[in-house]
Amino acid sequence: MMSPSASDSPQSAPPAAHRPLRRMTARGRDELHRVASPLELFFDLCFVVAIAQAGVALVHSVAEGHTGHGVLGYVMVFFAIWWAWMNFSWFASAYDNDDALYRVVTLVQIAGVLVLAAGVSRAFEERDFGVVVVGYVIMRFPLTAQWLRAARSTRGPERTTALRYAGGVLLCQIGWLGLLVLPERARPWLFLVMAVAELCVPLFAEKDFTTSWHPHHIAERYGLFTIIVLGETIAAATVAVKSAVAEHSALGELLPIAVGGLLIVFAAWWIYFAVPIHGHLRSNRQSFLWGYGHYLIFASAAAIGAGLEVAVEQSVGKAHIPTLSASAAVTLPTALYFLTVWALHARYFKVGIVEQLLLPTTALLVIACTFLGEWAVLAAGIVTAAAVAAGVILTARSAARGGAIAGQQ
């Protein structure tokens, strides 16, 4: 009798980790060396395309004096971008099995965000949200499929949670279609209702079972996206300064804006990464507030870049708005960014009233800089840089004081 060949033996089957299709089971929350995957990094970069388009549309609206309309459109479009990114990130943290089907479905979601990005200018200029809604639906249906796949591989309360996610995401997509048929005046109200509904889906889905998202992985994902958004801010400001110098040679007017903008972005990066936030993410209650609050961090960080572009255009006479409005386009999102970073995680690591009040006070001073005319952006940059320096000194003193007390004991 012939002996079985090596290919027929059980030992020769490909390991589960290398099979093209695998069961979508939960990953461990205590998994070691859990980091962002190359697919997740690619996913983030593609989302920046949509963020850039939203920023450009905001610049044009503000520069033309349509600030209210521009801000409203920016808030709505950015919510779609952020919410799709956030849902993917938390799902991936719990269920990413990196098989072939998972990758293909993720690439479909990326295609959706590119479609959304293509419709941003039409949504701002013509108030036509058709392409944006189509792109959003393309992003969200694959997520529904992922949750259904997770439900198929699990049982009990975990399966119920997955099915709740799938059903909630699907129902919300039906509601968003109202943007295509309702009159323009009703759309902001529909957006408000649907945004609340979207935010409630995770709260409802995880009320009986908490998915196994990884605290360190989530903190890294949010940190990387913050870096990407801040990098987009620098790129947008650089292009604006370059084009203005080429056309007007107005270096004297642009240099304060460029220096101030650079200081603001450096300070924004510094304060975000000054504390190890993953140690604070221990429960769903903390993580929901932290994760949802990042809408303001991401949106304000991207808006800083748009504001710098507006300030550049105003300084060379291409934007027909008052200097005060151009300054506010930079200082207000900067202040919001500092306040939100403090509220979400910096305050948990501050010792004493002086450290606690540093970032809120900085935000108020940045707002006050709005009234300094053409020097507003530079002054805001100096204020934020001074806040970083003060934070470093206070932290060093606290550490030295703690070391001295420990030595005495």
- What local confidence, expressed as pLDDT, does residue 6 receive? 37
Burial 233-261 (b: 16+ CB within 10 A, else e): bbebbbebbeebbeeeeeeebbebbbebb
pLDDT one-digit tens code per residue, 315-349: 887 888 899 999 999 999 999 999 999 988 877 76
* Whether 381 contacts 270, CB under 8 Å: no
- What local confidence, expressed as pLDDT, does residue 127 receive? 78
pLDDT one-digit tens code per residue, 377-409: 999 999 999 999 998 888 777 666 655 444 555
CATH architecture of the domain with residue range 216-401 = Up-down Bundle (1.20)
The domain spans of the chain are 37-212, 216-401
Could you give the angle at the alpha carbon of 361 between the alpha carbons of 257 and 322, nearest 5°?
35
User: Which band of pLDDT confidence, cut at 50, 70 and 90, is reported for residue 250?
Assistant: low
In three-state form (DSSP H/G/I as H, E/B as E, the rest C), the secondary structure along 62-116 is HHCCCHHHHHHHHHHHHHHHHHHHHHHHHHHHHHCCCCHHHHHHHHHHHHHHHHH
Asked whether residue 12 carries a pLDDT value surpassing 70, the answer given is: no
User: Which band of pLDDT confidence, cut at 50, 70 and 90, is reported for residue 278?
Assistant: low
User: Which band of pLDDT confidence, cut at 50, 70 and 90, is reported for residue 82?
Assistant: very high
Q: How far apart are the first and last CA of the chain?
A: 79
Least confident of 200-204, 205-209, 236-240: 236-240
- What local confidence, expressed as pLDDT, does residue 282 receive? 67
